[in-house]
Copies of this chain bind each other. A is one copy, B any other.
């Protein structure tokens, strides 16, 4: 269903990682409701509803956690006990 298969979770920056998390959230909606017309009809239902928006945010937050960990949190610190 999704036009672009998911090749990697690695991104250059947290910003790109966040965009990937958004895509990962959309992907499951596309799989569960493959009919794009139905999805278009549903869109205003949740994008204009505060609680739905919060729920979408939660799904994105879980995916961002996954993407961030996959990227080792894009971090550059060295744990001092290895120094």
Contacts and interface: CB of A to CB of B under 8 A. Distances in A.
Interface string A1-42: 000011111100111011000101101110111000010001
Contacts of A33: 47-48, 53
Contacts of A59: 54, 57-58, 61
Given A13-B7, A58-B58, A73 B81 contact: no
Interface in A27-80: 27-29, 31-33, 38, 42-43, 45-66, 68-79
Interface of A: 5-10, 13-15, 17-18, 22, 24-25, 27-29, 31-33, 38, 42-43, 45-66, 68-79, 81-82
